[in-house]
Amino acid sequence: MKIIYSCVAVLALGGMAHAQGVPQGDKNAPQFAPAWPTQTRAPALRSGVQMQIEVLAEGLDTPWGMAVLPEGGIVVTERSGALRLVQNGTVGEPITGVPQVLAQQQGGLLDVALATDFATSRVIYLTYAKPMAGGMSATAAARAVLSADGTALMEVRDVFVQDPPSPNAMHFGARVVVQGGYIYITTGEHFTNRERQFAQDLDKTYGKVVRIAPEGGAAGGNPFDNEVWSLGHRNVQGAAIRADGTLWTLEHGPAGGDELNLITRGANYGWPLVSYGVNYSGAAVGTGKARAEGFTEPQYYWDPVIAPGGFAFYSGDMFAGWQGDVLAASLNPGGLVRLVLEGDRVVGEERFLDGEIRVRDVEIDRDGAILILDNTDGRLLRLTPE
């Protein structure tokens, strides 16, 4: 099944000093000025790309994460607890051996990533909301071996469990990425006023990016002699490695203040003390400031929000000139957000399917096509230029 979508251009990249950002609503926190001109509402871009959209799978139950297999096929998580293989136009039966999940509120089966040596080891990593005693839950990551026929997980065991567990099934974070000999897992701070403070506590893995060894445990060279790699995050639901080896994340803000962050060892990103947004009530967050000494600035932020999911740095030749661009999922207003970078700074923004579908995750297919998970209708979509 194929449909055609034509993007609507706004402005070209030229003349960016005076260009307007993409059309969007009023700011939630107009009192905050960006630290540099293109830190937010960067000039709207016009690529002229028309998207052809192919439906690879439908009827999925709140798909959350996916990974492209080197031999072909895509494994997709459903938040209700199923892991499925989509291959040759067919959605497989649930893969057996998946850990039990807490499928409540924002919890469930969340992300999936392949080990660097997956082609020979068949090792994958899953993140999920792990049910704990007393009605509690925690962000967890499991290591498993996917059978050769893609129907079962074997040797399943946890390699990370967020500590302490939480009574609130919100803000799990839970994106997982693999880089060489390290596994990076993002966590949330479980939303409540009390628990959000833990994002600043080095002895708790709330609101953190954690870095572990492939078999579990803190990786060598971590800054605090535990699993914590960076701190001061709210709810990180996007993470990707750029071609230069740097780790970047996408983070949900409150009302305003969604962030694209360049993650560095031991850095503190400020939540809940500073934010470019405000609380949903309109009250100030923390100190009431957007930035302060000792906190790392976001490379980009949105106000109003895009409610980010996963993202990828584009690689491939199918979309000419897009190499290295950020392709980010938006849940609200929905769609695919493209950011162009010069060095580490965003210089332009373009939106596709704006307001049409809730996009949860983005990956790049083996041939350079863009894959997105549609949370509105439970579909896996493949985007190619017309």
The H or E element containing residue 373 is: strand 370-374
Going by C-alpha positions, the residue among 259, 255, 138, 132 that lies closest to residue 198 is: 138
Between β-strands 50-57 and 308-313, what pairing exists: parallel, antiparallel or unpaired? unpaired
What tokens appear for 27 in the block?
């700011």
What are 349's two structure tokens? 């923004």
Cα–Cα distance between 117 and 123 in angstroms, integer? 8
**What CA–CA distance (Å, rounded) separates 86 from 105?**
26
Positive or negative CA dihedral for 147, 150, 151, 155?
Answer: positive
CA distance 276 to 312: 24
Report the C-alpha gap between 47 and 330 in whole angstroms. 19
Phi first, then psi: what are they for 133, rounded to 5°? -60, 150
Is residue 110 a contact partner of residue 129, using CB atoms and an 8 Å limit? yes
Gyration radius of the chain over CA positions = 20
Task: Clarify whether 171 is annotated catalytic.
Answer: yes
Cβ–Cβ < 8 Å for 146, 75: yes
**What is residue 197's DSSP assignment?**
G
Q: Choose, from 18, 171, 190, 233, the residue flagged as catalytic.
A: 171
Strand order in the sheet with 209-212: 176-179, 182-186, 209-212, 228-230
Write out the catalytic residue numbers: 171
